[in-house]
Chain A
Amino acid sequence: DQQVKQNSPSLSVQEGRISILNCDYTNSMFDYFLWYKKYPAEGPTFLISISSIKDKNEDGRFTVFLNKSAKHLSLHIVPSQPGDSAVYFCAASAAGNMLTFGGGTRLMVKP
């Protein structure tokens, strides 16, 4: 029973273009969503988050959009840079409790 799903295992984008990573969830009790970035041989690091009371949160080149009716969120990276190449995990929480992670999307940004 996967409550958080990232249906694209990989994504390849040209440097300077937009990267869009998608995430779907099934549990309507989730009220907080986070994106983590993971480089090889390192632990995941926090990137950006959004509360369910918002539909957009922006931090520099990173923007997260939340569509509660569709139970869908997305991470936009503009412009994409080669250093953004990593695995991106979507995670969700209900009432501040433990995080449930999606399976991850490997982003490759080509110079």
Chain B
Amino acid sequence: EAGVAQSPRYKIIEKRQSVAFWCNPISGHATLYWYQQILGQGPKLLIQFQNNGVVDDSQLPKDRFSAERLKGVDSTLKIQPAKLEDSAVYLCASSAERTGLLGYTFGSGTRLTVV
């Protein structure tokens, strides 16, 4: 079974620029999550999708962050415009209903540096 794929692995941008991250979950996983992990902290949930619908986006800074999962499969997370404090690793995870939390699988993440 292929894992959760994320790209790019690394990205360096200047503040006020835009950036987009891509995630392809494990095949058949209905639930997809985006987490932000700032250095020295634990992952913090940004948004949760169930198929192509948003379940929870209460911690997503909607003035600059957006995410979509148009066909209920892969997803993109966008930041526009980026701020210095957005420097972090952005982790995508997916899970299947039948496995629930035990099937929560993370991708390797995208490390964003805003300069």
Interface stretch of the complex, out of B70-78, B79-87, B98-106 = B98-106
Task: Confirm or deny: A93 has a beta carbon within 8 angstroms of a beta carbon on chain B.
Answer: yes
* Residue of A whose beta carbon sits closest to that of B111: A41
> Interface residue count for B (Cβ, 8 Å)?
22
Task: Confirm or deny: B45 has a beta carbon within 8 angstroms of a beta carbon on chain A.
Answer: yes
Cα–Cα, bound, A44→B107 (Å): 8
Note all chain B residues with C-beta closer than 8 A to A89: 42-43
Interface stretch of the complex, out of A55-63, A66-74, A78-86, A99-107 = A99-107
Interface residues on A, range: 20 to 34
- Contact, CB under 8 Å: A93 / B42: no
Write the A33-50 contact mask toward B (1 if CB under 8 angstroms, else 0): 010000001111110010
Q: Footprint of A on B, CB under 8 Å? A: 4, 9, 33, 40-45, 48, 56, 91, 93, 100-102, 104-109
